[in-house]
């Protein structure tokens, strides 16, 4: 890893670590990290580095900071497949895991995030990631069966099916510590190995796409389909995001039009209706997209899949949706992990999302609160040239994920150049630094999080972006603090992440 990549992620900047270690294997990791801990250093784990919530970006610390690049921990242990799981080193990418399991006719039940070409299993489990398989099986935590974690005292904690190391054990024998360590962003230790549930590849797959006039109907449709467990994945786009994906151009104009529609309408809901009307009339920026929903189904045979899709179509039709070409889900299913060029906007803008996890009965309010926040920032958004678009998804049958994303012109970071394909690097514009727009985006994200707080919102990939510790009641705070103190009395493991 070059020196330039050490002090930032896709959105946050911090101070560079004192040194970087890149262990070759688990034993090496235990030795190198153990040594850094004994020397009194702070230790920060880094997987693929594909995040944007400050998870591995540290504020200055008076102690030396050692960043651990885990990407060379790359063993995939297939001998446990007959038990229904695979044991993976933390540095394995989701693409590598996919390639190892596919010839066995298998896949991981949670199949990874969209960034899986570069994102590691250790990173995703530390973020509690979601996407492939999440429509049916929820986030990564639900199918993580065991962990091997290096603690701050240099010992290795094994949990769940890995409790007896390679001997294996049934996952449950009293309380299981596994879930407590998933989503910790490395605060409780460095994950070395992970046991993930596997399942046979589906015999048949198909997909369908729909368009709705109203976001309310899109959300209802998504939630009904999730409740009936019909789809392995679902994703939805607001008109602006549909537009980004299909055209990747004229985005600023489109956003201005949306702002105008919302502005001229007096109320958000009325504004949304107007957007739908424009869309239906085929005028302006929406084309025919509307609020689109993409539903991916699987089954034991084509008959089973057809029957699920028939039920999906009934749900959609009852909610006034109309079927459109299913190009997007087809392409997504064919190539689950594409190069990460989506880290920029359609015209080479910087990009950063903010997301919320809602109980289904709060999702509509969540979308409204987001739009109202946008409206309240209207002047600043216009002045800074910021655009936004939103993605929706179902995570299991009880949670709706909403992910507004922002685009603005700004200087790119070394991590962008390290991630983008060469052909993209050649054609993107080089913009000067634009700290005022970046600060405005930070304020907007913060304001959206605040607006969502009363709705009981939750978050994955907490890092240093989402107020986990501050969201806890007094008793929870005490328990988490005591846990952090027990596992890491000298605050050496990624201190400050999770707010702990």
Ligand X SMILES: Cc1cc2nc3c(=O)[nH]c(=O)nc-3n(C[C@H](O)[C@H](O)[C@H](O)COP(=O)(O)OP(=O)(O)OC[C@H]3O[C@@H](n4cnc5c(N)ncnc54)[C@H](O)[C@@H]3O)c2cc1C
In the complex, the residues that contact ligand X under the rule CB under 6 A are 10, 44-51, 55-56, 70, 90, 113-115, 119-120, 122-124, 126-127, 129-131, 185-186, 190-191, 340, 342-343, 460-461, 463, 494, 497
Looking at the Cβ atoms of 274 and 338, the one nearer to ligand X is 338
Please state the closest distance from residue 466 (CB atom) to ligand X, in A. 12
Q: Kindly provide the residue ranges of all beta strands, DSSP E only, lying in 327-473, ordered along the sequence.
A: 350-353, 356-359, 387-395, 399-408
Residue position matching structure tokens 């989701």: 94
Please state the closest distance from residue 22 (CB atom) to ligand X, in A. 13
Looking at the Cβ atoms of 76 and 204, the one nearer to ligand X is 76
Burial class (CB in 10 A: 0-12, 13-18, 19+), 18: middle
Structure tokens at 205: 């797959």
Residue at shortest CB range from ligand X: 123
Please tell me whether residue 188 adopts helix, strand or coil conformation. Answer: coil
Looking at the Cβ atoms of 8 and 368, the one nearer to ligand X is 8
Cα 392 from Cα 373, distance rounded (Å): 18
Looking at the Cβ atoms of 50 and 389, the one nearer to ligand X is 50
Looking at the Cβ atoms of 57 and 101, the one nearer to ligand X is 57
Cα 58 from Cα 464, distance rounded (Å): 9
Looking at the Cβ atoms of 461 and 492, the one nearer to ligand X is 461
Structure tokens at 4: 């330039």
Distances (CA, A) of 366 to 215, 358, 397, 400, 405: 11, 7, 18, 10, 15
Please state the closest distance from residue 415 (CB atom) to ligand X, in A. 9
Please state the closest distance from residue 343 (CB atom) to ligand X, in A. 5
Looking at the Cβ atoms of 21 and 185, the one nearer to ligand X is 185
Please state the closest distance from residue 265 (CB atom) to ligand X, in A. 32
Please state the closest distance from residue 194 (CB atom) to ligand X, in A. 8
Please state the closest distance from residue 417 (CB atom) to ligand X, in A. 14
Looking at the Cβ atoms of 140 and 319, the one nearer to ligand X is 140
Q: Which helix (H) or strand (E) holds 190?
A: strand 190-200
Helices and strands per DSSP (H, E), number in the chain: 17, 17
Burial class (CB in 10 A: 0-12, 13-18, 19+), 31: middle
What radius of gyration do the chain's Cα atoms show?
Answer: 22
Closest residue by Cα to residue 342 from 332, 352, 356, 354:
352
Cα 337 from Cα 322, distance rounded (Å): 28
Structure tokens at 495: 């201190």
Please tell me whether residue 378 adopts helix, strand or coil conformation. Answer: helix
Please state the closest distance from residue 493 (CB atom) to ligand X, in A. 8
């Amino acid at each position: 890893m070059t020196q330039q990549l050490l002090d930032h992620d896709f959105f946050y900047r911090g101070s560079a670590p004192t040194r970087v270690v890149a262990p070759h294997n688990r034993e090496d990791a235990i030795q190198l990290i153990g040594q850094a801990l004994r020397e009194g250093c702070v230790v920060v784990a880094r997987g693929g580095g594909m995040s944007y919530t400050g998870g591995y970006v540290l504020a200055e610390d008076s102690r030396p900071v050692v960043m651990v690049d885990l990407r060379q921990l790359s063993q995939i242990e297939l001998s446990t497949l007959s038990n229904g799981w695979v044991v993976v080193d933390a540095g394995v990418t989701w693409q590598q895991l996919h390639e190892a399991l596919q010839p066995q006719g298998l896949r991981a039940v949670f199949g990874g995030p969209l960034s899986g070409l570069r994102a590691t299993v250790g990173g995703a489990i530390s973020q509690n990631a979601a996407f492939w398989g999440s429509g049916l099986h929820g986030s990564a935590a639900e199918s993580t069966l065991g962990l091997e974690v290096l603690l701050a005292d240099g010992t290795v904690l094994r949990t769940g099916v890995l409790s007896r190391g390679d001997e294996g054990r049934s996952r449950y024998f009293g309380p299981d510590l596994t879930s407590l360590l998933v989503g910790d962003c490395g605060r409780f230790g460095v994950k070395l190995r992970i046991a993930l549930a596997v399942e046979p590849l589906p015999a048949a797959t198909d997909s369908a796409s729909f368009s709705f006039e109203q976001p309310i109907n899109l959300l209802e449709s998504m939630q009904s389909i999730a409740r009936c467990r019909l789809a392995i994945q679902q994703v939805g786009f607001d008109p602006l995001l549909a537009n980004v994906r299909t055209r990747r151009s004229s985005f600023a104009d489109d956003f201005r039009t949306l702002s105008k529609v919302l502005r001229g309408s007096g109320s958000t809901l009325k504004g949304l209706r107007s957007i739908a009307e424009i869309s239906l009339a085929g005028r302006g920026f929406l084309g025919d997209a509307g609020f689109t929903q993409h539903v991916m189904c699987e089954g034991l045979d084509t008959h089973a899949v057809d029957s699920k899709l028939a039920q999906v179509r009934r749900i959609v039709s009852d909610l006034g949706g109309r079927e459109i070409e299913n190009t997007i889900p087809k392409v997504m299913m064919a190539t689950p992990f594409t190069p990460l060029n989506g880290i920029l906007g359609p015209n080479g803008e910087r990009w950063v999302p903010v997301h919320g996890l809602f109980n289904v009965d709060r999702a509509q309010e969540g979308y409204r609160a987001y739009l109202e926040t946008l409206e309240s920032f209207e002047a600043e958004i216009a002045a800074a040239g910021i655009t936004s678009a939103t993605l929706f998804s179902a995570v299991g049958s009880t949670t709706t994920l909403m992910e507004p994303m922002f685009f603005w012109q700004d200087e790119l970071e070394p991590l962008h150049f390290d991630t983008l394909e060469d052909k993209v690097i050649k054609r993107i514009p080089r913009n000067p630094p634009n700290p005022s727009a970046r600060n405005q985006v930070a304020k907007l994200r913060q304001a959206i999080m605040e607006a969502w707080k009363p709705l009981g919102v939750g978050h994955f990939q907490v890092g240093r972006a989402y107020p986990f510790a501050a969201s806890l009641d007094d008793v929870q705070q005490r328990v988490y603090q005591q846990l952090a103190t027990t596992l890491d009395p000298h605050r050496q493991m990624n201190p400050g992440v999770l707010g702990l």
